[in-house]
Structure 1
Amino acid sequence: MTTTPPEGYRLVWSDEFERDGAPDPAKWVHDTVRNREGWFNHERQYYARASDDNAQVRNGKLLITARRETPRDAPDWGGQHYTSARLNTRGKAEWTYGFFEVSARLPCGRGTWPAIWMLGSGGRWPDDGEFDIMEHMGRNPAQVSSAVHVAAGHGGQNIGGAFPLPDACTAFHRYQLHWTPEGASFGVDGFVYFRYPKLDTGPRAWPFDRPQFLLLNLAIGGDLGGEVDDAIFPVTMEIDYVRVYQRQP
């Protein structure tokens, strides 16, 4: 079974990253709200505000770069010794159902944890649900994974699948989610490797009939990133495009 934009869907939102400079502020928000308290999952990065050092568009690509540095002068510094960026579309663009595709080349190196994912716009986690379209751990560079987090199973009890991808760090691949009222399918380059069907078990297992927003980030360390090799920095996640298609009436 392959995943491509289905018949009857049309492009409703995209960023092709055609203008050099900062990410388009009409489309992306720099998420920094947990810097002082520390980010979830014991992650070790400080997420910078608009900064060419951590998030910039250059030559048709969005570059999210993690660096080994200590931003002591930042008013919301929480003791971190790495900087990175976390972008989302909350308040700019949110969707209920659709076909989502992100073309990206991932960083490698022990301690990196890049992700392409979605969160429920209601802001209640895990009740509003989470789609992890792609996660990658630098300590396991030849594999990517996807997961679904809901009230009935989240964190270490999430439901997910993994896919072997030996050149994830050297080539661009298309990471995909097809989300419908009947379920969600996750794929790479048109091949589906994980499905999450809607079962008749209520909102604890299927909260996905409400809007979600998109996130792109590069975390360092933490529960999945693991031990960090300081010799790898700087490391960059490159994104060629982000495209969202929806079924037309």
Structure 2
Amino acid sequence: MTTSPTTISVPADHVLVWSDEFANDGLPDATKWVHETGRNKEGWYNNEKQYYSGPRLENAQVHNGVLTITARKESNSDQTDWGGQAYSSTRLATLGKKDWTYGFFDIRAKLPCGKGTWPAIWMVGSRGAWPAGGELDIMEWVGSKPERMFSTVHTTAGSGGNGKGADAPIADACNTFHNYQMYWTAQQVIFAVDGKVHFIYKNPGTGVDAWPFDAPQFMILNVAIGGDLGGAVDDAVFPVQMDVEYVRIYQKSK
């Protein structure tokens, strides 16, 4: 019987295959990221309250080696796709730019403070509709419960409130940088903070409904506001921001 690991680090046989060190000031690197804005008019999932902007320094800016995603209390009523939202934010994705199957994912970030904030670092299947394509939530956190973050796996066999996951105690997520990590193989997906494991999802071997994770996934960085998970919003906290020092992805060397 194999023992489940309690800590993880970059495996010795893995090499860096993709990264963003946020070295160039200005807008996020358009060769690596797209701004997802497709549901602004009809509203985003889970009753979220934000409008996701296109390229706009007020909502996503790289400065001094850090990507800052800022959520603001403002109306973007001058935009043709505005859906009546009272908040703006950004959702960056590698969709159409890059995706991965398996690897070690390491994202160093500091989360926003305040009730109603809902930042996430996550991955979604590049092929097929949700949840059949799978979803891997490396980090989700809500400002109403600032002492814990959580990681969740969504599949056809269990999604939304029936997703499989666990949380981890992290008292200073909104004022200190931490490394949010995932080690994904054909056998299991391991989630950790600063190398300390808090959840392992094993391949049950029952087919694609419970394990769609033999196919590519792309990455998303976003700050949602309110909604089913974000909860009641405290307008006094805005603007709020998620800072990301780097995104690094390692895969097994050929």
TM range, smaller chain: over 0.9
Q: Partner amino acid for 2:69?
A: I
Read off the aligned partner of 1:155 and give its amino acid letter. G
SS of 1:99's equivalent in the other structure is strand
Find the partner of 1:98 among 100, 103, 112: 103
Q: 1:151-193 CA deviation, whole Å, 9 max, x = no partner?
A: 0000010100000000101110000000000010000000111
2:152 matched to which residue of 1?
147
Give the secondary structure class of the aligned counterpart of 1:177: strand
> What amino acid is the match of 2:114?
G
CA–CA distance in structure 1, aligned partners of residues 147 and 108 of structure 2: 17
Instruction: Report the counterpart of residue 253 of structure 2 in structure 1.
Output: 248
**Residue 45, structure 1, aligned to residue 50, structure 2:** yes
2-structure distance, mates of 1:19, 1:139: 34
Equivalent residue in structure 1 for 2:184, among 179, 183, 202: 179
Q: TM-score, with normalisation over the residues of structure 2? A: 0.97
How many angstroms apart in 2 are the aligned matches of 1:75 and 1:204?
38
1:237 match: secondary structure:
strand
TM-score (norm 1): 0.99
Pick one of 223, 228, 235 that aligns with 2:228.
223
CA distance in 2, matches of 1:184, 1:74: 40
Matched residue count: 249
1:11 lines up with 2:16 in the alignment = yes
Whole-angstrom CA distance in 2 between matches of 1:166 and 1:185: 21
Alpha-carbon distance in structure 2 between the residues aligned to 1:97 and 1:134: 17
Written as runs of structure 1 = structure 2, the 5 A alignment for 1:12-27 is 12-27=17-32
Shift of 1:142: 1.2
Question: How far apart are residue 3 of structure 1 and its match?
Answer: 1.2
The runs of 4+ residues in structure 1 deviating greater than 6 Å are none
CA distance in 2, matches of 1:74, 1:142: 36
RMSD (CA atoms) = 0.5
Q: By how many angstroms is 1:123 displaced?
A: 4.0
Paired with 2:30 and 2:192, the residues of 1 have a C-alpha distance of 29
Cα distance in 2 for partners of 1:119, 1:109 equals: 26
**Which residue in 2 is equivalent to 1:195?**
200
- Structure 1 unaligned regions, length at least 5: none
The one-letter amino acid paired with 1:167 is D
The yes-or-no answer on 1:2 pairing with 2:36 is: no
Amino acid at match of 1:131: L
In the alignment, the residues of structure 1 paired with residue 90 and residue 98 of structure 2 have an alpha-carbon distance, to the nearest angstrom, of 19
Counterpart amino acid of residue 72 in structure 1 = S
- One of 108, 125, 130 as aligned partner of 2:113: 108
Tell me, what secondary structure is at the counterpart of 2:242? strand
The Cα shift of 1:200 comes to 1.6
Q: Per-residue displacement from partner, 1:90-148 (whole Å, max 9, x unpaired)?
A: 11110000000100000110000000000000141000000000000000111110000
For structure 2, which runs of at least 5 residues remain unmatched after alignment? Answer: 1-5
SS in 2 for 1:80: coil
Residue 126 of structure 1 pairs with residue 145 of structure 2: no
